[in-house]
Structure 1
Amino acid sequence: MKKFVLAAVAASVAVSPILAAAPAAAAPAQQTRTVIKHKPNGKVVVKKTVKKAPQQRYRTSWKRGERFDYRQARNYRQVDYRHYRGLKAPPRGYRYVQSGNDIVMVGIASGIIGAIFGNMIR
Structure 2
Amino acid sequence: MKKLLMSAIAATLVASPMAVAAADAAPVQRERTVTTVKERPNGRTVVTQRTTVRNTGPQAWRVGQRFDRRHATNYRVVRDYRTYRLAAPGRGQYWARSGNDAILVRNNGTIVRVIQRSFR
TM-score by length of structure 2 reads 0.54
Which residue in the other structure is 1:83 paired with? Answer: 83
AA of the residue aligned to 1:63: R
In terms of Rg, which structure is larger? Answer: 1
* Counterpart secondary structure, 1:84: coil
User: Whole-Å Cα distance in 1 between the matches of residues 91 and 57 of structure 2?
Assistant: 28
| RMSD (CA atoms) | 2.8
Which residue in the other structure is 1:94 paired with? Answer: 93
Once the two structures are superposed, residues 41-77 of structure 1 have per-residue CA deviations (whole angstroms, 9 ceiling, x without a partner) of xxxxxxxxxxxx7665144211100100000000000
Specify whether residues 58 and 94 from structure 1 end up closer, same or farther in structure 2 by C-alpha distance, changes over 3 A only.
Answer: farther
AA of the residue aligned to 2:90: P
- What's the offset of the Cα at 1:83? 1.4
TM-score by length of structure 1 reads 0.53
- How many pairs were matched up? 78
| Seq. identity, % | 37
Match of 1:114 among 105, 112, 115: 112
Task: Give structure 1 regions of 4+ aligned residues with deviation exceeding 3 angstroms.
Answer: 53-56
Contact residue 58 and residue 72 of structure 1 kept, 8 A: no
Structure 1 gaps of 5+ residues are 1-15, 32-52
Structure number with the higher strand fraction is 2
- What's the offset of the Cα at 1:18? 2.4
Structure 2 gaps of 5+ residues are 1-35, 40-45
User: Whole-Å Cα distance in 2 between the matches of residues 54 and 60 of structure 1?
Assistant: 15
Specify whether residues 71 and 18 from structure 1 end up closer, same or farther in structure 2 by C-alpha distance, changes over 3 A only.
Answer: same
